[in-house]
Amino acid sequence: MRIDMHCHSAEGSLDAQVSIFMVVDILKAKGYDGVLITDHNSYKGYEAWEESGRDDFVVLKGIEYDTGDAGHMLVILPCGVDTAIFALRGMPLMKLIRLVHRLGGILGPAHPYANCKSGMFNHRKWRRNTALCYNFDFVESFNSCAGGASNDSAARLARRFRRPICGGSDNHRLSGVGLGYTDIGAIIHDNDDLLAALNAGAVLSAGGSYNSDSFAMVHSFIYSCSAYIYYYLYNKGVALLMMRRRRKAQRALTS
């Protein structure tokens, strides 16, 4: 199956302009078999699809989580697991890893060498500790919004630590839908199937093409520049104020 494993929707990401329904229609027309919706700290895109009652395409539930110290992480949890805590961004990476694995889920760094502070290995702290990759379940080796050098570095990282790879469009505008893919040698119906396939090493390849839309490139440039400021204002500042809420949600989740 060919799946876009990094996809945004207007329903769930403030910086996205394409509805989940248009995303699905375009991917179907391009021959894709499924999509993992990974909105920023939100499941609203996936929830909009579920509420619509449509079942003509495989839509999977994921999230692009904004950590407090390591950029963005793609998180995939089993079916039926309460996910409210992941809408509260700012959790430290090591705590996120423990929580996701405790819940039976998997995670990996999104665009690990791209997008300024939203790429994990743009943080000096983690560049000196790449062995942490053994704690990841996969690495995003292709992102159509990242540069070729960034993706090449991510692919080398995955090979070095023998982690499964994945690829996705990371679309925010119409021009980006369906530019990235992950080919999986298994039949995927839901999150449990996807987890089993990735854990079994069923990923065959990941790749795609780069978004040459000038507006998309401007968006990426502005995002990269603003990410540095945003990281310190929100992830390092306001996120500390949300720590109590996250702890309360985690206690309720694990009780």
Higher pLDDT residue, 163 or 118? 163
Range of lowest pLDDT (43-52, 176-185, 220-229): 220-229
When pLDDT is averaged across residues 222-235 and rounded to a whole number, the result is 54
Band the pLDDT of 68: cuts 50, 70, 90: confident
CATH code of the domain containing 205: 3.20.20.140
Closest CA to 182 of 161, 157, 201: 201
Domain around 62? 2-254
Band the pLDDT of 126: cuts 50, 70, 90: very high
What pLDDT, on a 0 to 100 scale, did the predictor assign at position 211? 81
Could you tell me the pTM of the whole model? Answer: 0.86
What pLDDT, on a 0 to 100 scale, did the predictor assign at position 10? 96
Q: Percent of the chain scored above 70 by pLDDT?
A: 85
Band the pLDDT of 60: cuts 50, 70, 90: very high
What pLDDT, on a 0 to 100 scale, did the predictor assign at position 178? 95
> How many folded domains does the chain comprise?
1
When pLDDT is averaged across residues 160-187 and rounded to a whole number, the result is 96
What pLDDT, on a 0 to 100 scale, did the predictor assign at position 115? 75
Residue 235 has pLDDT above 70, yes or no: no
Residue 253 has pLDDT above 90, yes or no: no
Condensed to tens digits (0 to 9), the pLDDT of residues 86-105 reads 998 889 999 999 999 999 99
> What is the average pLDDT value for the chain, to the nearest integer?
89
When pLDDT is averaged across residues 123-127 and rounded to a whole number, the result is 89
Residue 22 has pLDDT above 90, yes or no: yes
**Alpha-carbon distances of 1 from 28, 91, 108, 178, rounded to whole Å:** 12, 33, 20, 14
What pLDDT, on a 0 to 100 scale, did the predictor assign at position 1? 97
When pLDDT is averaged across residues 33-37 and rounded to a whole number, the result is 98
Contact between 12 and 43 (Cβ < 8 Å) = yes
CA distance 216 to 222: 10
What pLDDT, on a 0 to 100 scale, did the predictor assign at position 170? 95
